[in-house]
Amino acid sequence: MKYNESNLETRALAKHIRMSSYKARRVINQIRGCSYEQALMILEFMPYRACYPILQLISSAAANATNNLNINKNNLIISEAKVDKGTVLRRFQPRAQGRGYPIHKPTCHITIIVKSRSQ
């Protein structure tokens, strides 16, 4: 099967990650447009909890590119990375005098698209 060399891209998607979209977006903004190796280095040394699921997602996108399109991982760049809001889990914390205090547990959807570096 012959592929068009200009638009070889694969995606990886993680849904319902138990994290605020703002906190995940803070990490995603740092790696957008980076190469695969550079993104791994950045994520490994950032001190945020959001780095681990994003690191797994980038590895998954790279594995998709390797297995499905036979692209070497050294030739990959992160062409698109986005974080969308997911559903909010609503819970109640009991408080004084029979009141209930609402707790919002946000989720997010993370999408990573890797593309072959144009030679």
The residue among 45, 15, 18, 27 whose CA lies nearest residue 81 is: 27
Predicted local confidence at residue 1, as pLDDT: 40
pLDDT tens digits for range 11-54: 999 999 999 999 999 999 999 989 999 999 999 999 999 999 99
Whether 66 and 102 have beta carbons less than 8 Å apart is answered as no
Structure token digits, residue 19 = 């994290």
Give the chain's domain count.
1
Q: Give the whole-angstrom CA distance, residue 77 versus residue 56.
A: 16
Q: Tell me the residue range of the domain where 46 lies.
A: 5-116
Which CATH number covers residue 17?
3.90.470.10
Question: Average pLDDT, whole number, for the chain?
Answer: 90
Residue 6: which pLDDT band, with cuts at 50, 70 and 90?
A: low
pTM here is 0.86
Q: Give the whole-angstrom CA distance, residue 12 versus residue 36.
A: 14
Percent of the chain predicted with pLDDT > 70: 93
